[in-house]
């Protein structure tokens, strides 16, 4: 297991990358590949579909353009109509697959080709990231404790 936070990853990529270019353009997929190589992962950029990624059963890094902002996300899981993303800009989130395919820039994925035995993909615990809606948490499903607000005599 590799426990690193985003700040550590960014610091290492910045130290080993073309700092002038990074300051102007941000990190590239090549910067991320070099970082993964540094950790002992053999990573490559490949052109692949989401179905191919699902068949491989490994996480991948993808470039998306959302609200005018291009950035990298980790595809942590796939279901028939949903994509589970680790997004440094917005946190872990689930997105409709059709929406992801609209904002995915180039169908290129950065995938580690070795050490796949430690890869975590489509983990049920990762899909449980979204809390239940506030009302769903507060309501007892047997409706015993629910009281409806009705106008009283003095409310008119």
DSSP assignment string, the chain: -----HHHHHHHHHHHS-HHHHHHH---HHHHHHHHHHTT--EEEEE--HHHHHHHT--EEEEEEETTEEEEEEEEEEETTEEEEEETTTEEEEEEHHHHHHHEEEEEEEEE-S-GGG---S-HHHHTTSPPPHHHHHS-TT-SS-------GGG-
Task: Decide which of 102 and 146 is more confident.
Answer: 102
- Any idea where the domains of the chain sit in the sequence? 41-131
| Mean predicted confidence (pLDDT) in 80-89 | 91
The pLDDT tens digits of the residues spanning 123-140 come to 888 888 755 455 544 544
The C-alpha torsion from 115 through 117 and 118 to 122, rounded to 10°, is: 120
Q: What percent of the chain has pLDDT over 90?
A: 25
- What pLDDT sits at residue 136? 47
Candidates 3.40.50.970, 3.90.70.10, 3.40.50.720, 1.20.1250.20; correct CATH number of 41-131? 3.90.70.10
pLDDT band for position 148 (cuts 50, 70, 90): very low
- Whether 150 shows a pLDDT value over 50: the answer reads no
Task: Put the strands of the sheet holding 60-66 in their side by side order.
Answer: 43-47, 104-112, 60-66, 69-79, 82-87, 91-96
- What pLDDT sits at residue 152? 52
């Amino acid at each position: 297991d590799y426990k690193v936070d985003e700040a550590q990853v960014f610091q290492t990529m910045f130290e080993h990358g073309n700092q002038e270019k990074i300051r102007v353009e941000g990190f590239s997929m090549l910067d991320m590949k070099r970082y993964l190589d540094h950790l002992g992962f053999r990573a490559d950029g490949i052109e692949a579909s989401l179905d191919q990624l699902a068949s491989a059963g490994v996480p991948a890094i993808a470039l998306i353009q959302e609200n005018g902002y291009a950035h990298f996300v980790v595809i942590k899981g796939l279901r028939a109509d949903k994509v589970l993303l680790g997004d440094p800009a917005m946190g872990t989130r689930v997105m409709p697959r059709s929406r992801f395919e609209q904002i995915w820039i180039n169908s290129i994925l950065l995938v580690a080709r070795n050490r796949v035995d430690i890869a975590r993909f489509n983990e049920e615990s990762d899909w449980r990231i979204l809390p239940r809606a506030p009302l769903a948490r507060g309501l007892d499903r047997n409706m015993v404790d629910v009281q409806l607000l009705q106008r009283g005599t003095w409310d008119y």
